[in-house]
Amino acid sequence: MAIIETIAIAFWAMLPAYVPNNAAVLAGGGQPIDGGRTWGEKRVLGDGKTWRGTAVGVAAGLALAAVLTALEPTVSDALGFAVPGFTPLAALGLAGGAMLGDILASFLKRRTGRQRGAMFPGLDQLDFVVVSLPLVGLLDFEWFREWFSLEVILVVVVLTPILHVTTNMIAYKLGLKNEPW
Ligand code: CTP
Ligand code: K
Ligand code: MG
């Protein structure tokens, strides 16, 4: 498979996992998921993980998956190779897994004494991949196996941090995010 093709499939297949974090940033606010509770001295998750941000993030990922699925035949035709349509379970795994990964990362950040907004290099850029891919594999193994070849997974692991750093830098410059990571 040509590298361009692999990159296109990786990017397209991961879009429903990329969008939830950005949607959550725009929608965030309101009740924190941990309800303000602490574990030991530290918050369980912190004020940066809210019900509204999480719900809007998952909804945005699911909606995007539906749009991409509708566009898939046209886009595949135009590209000359197939990009994936999303089954409901694949979409749920990608969008839900992305938000879950982000929440688990905050849990780890608090346990390691990091305040809300502190960076955790590596984890910040890949938390949602680490949870969304296994979750997709669990929810719809056939779909996962069809689209996530070893090459596609490798591209995802390299491409995601680059996209993450770029989009967060833009969001920071636009004043949408408090920190550039
Ligand atoms: N956000 C949210 N709910 C989520 C994820 C994000 O409401 N599940 C919103 C919050 O307003 C959050 C902002 O998006 O402050 C930025 O997200 P993120 O960088 O993940 O959170 P941080 O504020 O940096 O908090 P943490 O240190 O826990 O990652
Ligand atoms: K994060
Ligand atoms: Mg942050």
What is the Å distance from ligand 1's center to 107 Cα?
A: 12
Q: What integer is the mean pLDDT of 4-22?
A: 97
- Ligand 1 contacts CB of residue 93 (under 6 A): no
151 pLDDT higher than 90: yes
Return the pLDDT at 150. Answer: 97
22 pLDDT higher than 80: yes
What is the Å distance from ligand 2's center to 41 Cα?
A: 21
In this prediction, residue 34 has a pLDDT band, given cuts at 50, 70 and 90, of very high
- Ligand 1 contacts CB of residue 20 (under 6 A): no
Extract the tokens encoding 23: 């949607």
Residue 15, Ramachandran bin (φ over 0: left; ψ between -120 and 50: alpha; else beta): alpha
Cα–Cα distance for residue pair 146/179, rounded to 1 Å: 37
pLDDT tens string 58-73: 999 999 999 999 999 9
Q: What integer is the mean pLDDT of 154-165?
A: 97
Q: What integer is the mean pLDDT of 38-51?
A: 97
Cα–Cα distance for residue pair 169/181, rounded to 1 Å: 7
Cα–Cα distance for residue pair 30/62, rounded to 1 Å: 22
Cα–Cα distance for residue pair 97/18, rounded to 1 Å: 11
pLDDT tens string 68-112: 999 999 999 999 999 999 999 999 999 999 999 999 999 999 999
Question: Which of 42, 43, 49 has most ligand 1 atoms within 8 Å of its beta carbon, as the pocket-test mutant?
Answer: 49
- Ranges of each domain in the chain: 3-173
- Ligand 1 contacts CB of residue 50 (under 6 A): yes
Mean of per-residue pLDDT scores for the chain: 97
Burial 96-112 (b: 16+ CB within 10 A, else e): bbbbbbbbbbbbebbee
| In the chain, % of residues over pLDDT 90 | 99
Q: What integer is the mean pLDDT of 10-35?
A: 96
Which stretch of DSSP H or E encloses residue 68?
helix 51-79
Cα–Cα distance for residue pair 18/39, rounded to 1 Å: 30
Q: What integer is the mean pLDDT of 149-167?
A: 97
Return the pLDDT at 28. Answer: 87
Return the pLDDT at 155. Answer: 98
Ligand at shortest distance from the CA of 123: 2
1 pLDDT higher than 80: no
Q: What is the DSSP string of 89-149?
A: HHHHHHHHHHHHHHHHHHHHHHHTTPPTT---TTHHHHHHHHHHHHHHHHH-HHHHHHH--
